[in-house]
Amino acid sequence: MDTKLLETLQQYWLSDNESKIYITILEYGQAVVSMISRKTWIKRTTLYGILEYLKRQGIVQEIIKNDIKYFFVISPDILFKNLEKKYLSFKESLPELMTVIWKFGNRPRITFYEGKEQIENMLYEHYPLWAISMANYDHTWRWYQDHHFVELYIDWLNRSRQQKSRKEKIKLFTNKSDIEKNLRTRQKKVSNRTMKFLPKWFEFKSTLWVCWDYIVMFVFKDEKQYAYEIQDAMLWSNIREIFKMLRAFVK
């Protein structure tokens, strides 16, 4: 059985056994329980329960021929469309779900990420949450950007610019470096973004983002890199005021 196909299905909602059953029936076209059990090494007692669950989900269907029950599955393109509908439905409900957290004053949460892979996954997966969070306030990203972040995650920065809404604004501080100077020369091409360089004597050796309910800090030390994501509306409010004060004094 193709391991890559199994891993792909497992990443998108199906469990290990459910993925094995789906691929097995897909290969046979139609299959009886004994065939599925023999190919997947899943006990029949367990298999019947999973098949019933997949039937309720609309993934597996059955037909009876000569008093023998055969199972078949929906095609992968239909499965994809069904998963896409569930994803879109969840995405539409996300603002309401996030409102539940804000309404009932959820306790502050801190999450730690270590290494480029974890940080990169966090950037791609959490960007929609940060954008929704800011949309509840003023659609403005406020951050201090260390040039190391730009050098390491330029691909994510370019992609996030393509995804951002027209209402989103970026107000950032940065240290003077070649890559930041090049970005500033292209600043006019990026809508709703203002960049300011801090004085030479100001040494801030990390990247700090303020996105309404979230505060995200990236630290680059020698060859190590790690990040903190803090969800705390009160702390966000205080740091936001510090950023406003800085913008008033830095030219």
Range with the poorest average pLDDT among 96-110, 159-173, 182-196: 182-196
Q: What is the pLDDT of residue 163?
A: 67
The CATH code that applies to domain 107-249 is: 3.30.870.10
Indicate left, alpha or beta for 161 from its phi (over 0: left) and psi (-120 to 50: alpha). Answer: alpha
Q: Which of 61, 2, 57, 44 is nearest to 27 (CA)?
A: 2
What does the domain layout of the chain look like in residue ranges? 3-74, 107-249
**Residue 188 pLDDT more than 60?**
no
Residue pair 210/142 in contact (Cβ under 8 Å)? The answer is yes
Mean pLDDT along residues 49-71: 90
Q: From CA 21, how far away is CA 51, in angstroms rounded? A: 8
**pLDDT mean over 161-190:** 64
- Quote the pTM value: 0.52
Confidence of residue 104 (pLDDT cuts 50, 70, 90): low
Phi, psi for residue 112 in degrees, rounded to 5: -110, 135
Q: So what's the pLDDT on residue 76?
A: 87
pLDDT tens digits, residue range 50-60? 999 899 888 89
Nearest to 60 by CA among 68, 69, 43: 69
What is the 3 state secondary structure string of the chain?
CCHHHHHHHHHCCCCHHHHHHHHHHHHHCCECHHHHHHHHCCCHHHHHHHHHHHHHCCCEEEEEECCEEEEEECCHHHHHHHHHHHHHHHHHHHHHHHHHHHHCCCCCEEEEEECHHHHHHHHHHHHHHHHHHHHCCCCEEEEEECHHHHHHCHHHHHHHHHHCCCCCEEEEEECCCHHHHHHHHCHHHCCCEEEEECCCCCCCCEEEEEECCEEEEEEEECCEEEEEEEECHHHHHHHHHHHHHHHHHCC
Whole-number CA gyration radius for the chain: 25
- Amino acid identity, residue 48? Y
pLDDT score, position 30: 92
pLDDT at 10 over 90: no
Whether domain 3-74 has CATH 1.20.1250.20: the reply is no
Bridge partner residues of 62 (DSSP)? 71
Residue 187's pLDDT band (boundaries 50, 70, 90)?
Answer: very low
User: Would you say 246 and 197 are in contact if contact means Cβ atoms under 8 Å apart?
Assistant: no
